[in-house]
Amino acid sequence: MYYVSSITDTLRVPPDRFDQNLSSILLDLARDSLEGKIFPDLGYIVSVMEAEEIGKGKLIPQDGGAFYPCNFKVLSYKPERGEVVEGKVNDITSFGIFLQVSTIQPLCHISQIGNDHFRYDDSANRLIGKDTQATVDVGEMVRGRIIVVGVQKKAIRVGITMRQAGLGTESWIEEWKESLIEKRQE
């Protein structure tokens, strides 16, 4: 899920930037120091949107810069267990697929791909279902549900499933929708 939150940080403004607009300087510094970072309570910081409140600057002996406490509005992405996500298949391995979902690359283990036994076809770099012959290829868009989330300092680890109705590749989802329509007509 995407969230808009506030972060308080104290940033050092170097003396060569004292003649510039303080709000713009602090916003630049905050973007450099916060964007792309992971915080356990916020997730991945996608963007520092604005400087909301700037406190009084302080000077520290032996340092030419000025230190300003400031509140920043940030946009972050923190995956939540149970969240349904869509992403593009980036990589296929013998143990599953990796997707690109927003700022993360979740893994869908081979045991969590559809209600079939999938095998990896190395020559075609694809997964193929044993009974259904359903396939998963690099570049396909898929829908999955997040079942595991681990937030670490340098990475967010996510596991998803595509075994539930309405999840999987776009063609699987269309087949599922058609089967629902057929059941209603009976």
- DSSP of 8-75, one letter per residue? EEEEEEPGGGTTS-HHHHHHHHHHHHHTT-EETTTEEEEEEEEEEEE---EE-TT--SEEEEEEEEEE
> How many CB atoms sit inside 10 A of residue 159's CB?
17
> How many CB atoms sit inside 10 A of residue 73's CB?
14
Q: What is the pLDDT along the chain (186 residues), one digit of tens a residue?
A: 999 999 999 999 999 999 999 999 999 999 999 999 999 899 999 999 999 999 999 999 999 999 999 999 999 999 999 999 999 999 999 999 999 998 899 999 999 998 899 999 999 999 999 999 999 999 999 999 999 999 888 889 999 999 998 999 999 999 889 988 888 887
Distance CA 15, CA 7 (A): 24
Q: Which two tokens stand for residue 103?
A: 């700022």
- The answer to whether 108 and 162 are in contact (CB under 8 A) is yes
The CA distances from residue 87 to 32, 102, 105, in Å, are: 27, 8, 9
Domains along the chain with CATH numbers: 2-77 (3.30.1490.120), 84-185 (2.40.50.140)
Torsions phi, psi for 31 (to 5 deg):
-60, -45
Report the Cα–Cα distance between both ends of the chain, in Å, rounded.
Answer: 38
